[in-house]
């Protein structure tokens, strides 16, 4: 497997990744990592769990775990992806997991797009636990991360972007993870429509179409 933090490595995220990568140094047994849409939190949760021979769960899997399943996780490294989706639906299970991990000597990594203080729960005990959690934040990408994410997104779509195309795109794309994914979706569609490789002229055309569409939306707004 590639580096567990490979999709997110960069100066903006170094602090959060360093903390997540050293669970034995956590101030508490539970840590939450937040970040913007499409930043790679799901990958981060799965790769972190794999690195420490642990378990990665979704909110739906947490709901199905049952007491016996939760007990089995108490001493392990557990990642719960989109943890905020469990709040309000699986409050008891999440609170039990937090308490069991704390008592059993394990570690629990929560990932979400919003900090735990903003998660809505009717459980006063869970709310207290969430408000006390340390939080690491994944920031917006810089140019180097955009370049790396473009190459990775292209590979997932069985495409290859030339160095010249990357050099053109990086300073022109919005510094946002979802902007990279949106562009690559559109470029992939254009490649299929025109039955041609993702050349620099085609990438330029797609980017210009996106800019034109954004301008029209602003005008209508």
Beta bridge partners of 108: 30, 78
Q: What is the pLDDT of residue 217?
A: 54
Given a contact cutoff of 8 angstroms between Cβ atoms, the answer to whether 9 and 134 are in contact is no
pTM score: 0.82
Residues 126-147 have pLDDT tens digits of: 999 999 999 998 888 889 889 9
Are the beta carbons of 63 and 39 closer than 8 angstroms?
A: no
Residue 53 has pLDDT above 60, yes or no: yes
């Amino acid at each position: 497997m590639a580096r567990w933090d490979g999709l997110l490595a960069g100066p903006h995220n170094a602090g959060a990744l360093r903390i997540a990568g050293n669970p034995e140094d956590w101030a508490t047994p539970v840590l939450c990592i937040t970040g913007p849409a499409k930043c790679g939190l799901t990958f981060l949760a799965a790769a972190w769990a794999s690195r420490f021979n642990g378990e990665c769960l979704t909110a739906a899997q947490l709901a199905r775990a049952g007491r016996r399943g939760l007990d089995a996780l108490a001493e392990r490294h557990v990642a719960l992806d989109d943890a905020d989706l469990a709040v309000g639906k699986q409050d008891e299970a999440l609170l039990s997991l937090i308490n069991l991990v704390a008592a059993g000597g394990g570690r629990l990594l929560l990932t979400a797009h919003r900090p735990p203080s903003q998660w809505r729960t009717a459980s006063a005990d869970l709310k207290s636990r969430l408000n006390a959690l340390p939080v690491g934040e994944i920031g917006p990408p810089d140019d180097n991360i955009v370049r790396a994410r473009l190459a990775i997104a292209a590979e997932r779509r069985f495409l290859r972007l030339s160095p010249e195309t990357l050099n053109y795109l990086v300073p022109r794309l919005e510094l946002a993870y979802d902007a990279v994914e949106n562009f690559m979706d559109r470029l992939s569609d254009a490649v299929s429509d025109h039955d041609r490789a993702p050349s620099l002229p085609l990438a330029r055309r797609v980017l210009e179409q996106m800019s034109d569409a954004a301008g029209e939306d602003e005008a209508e707004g």
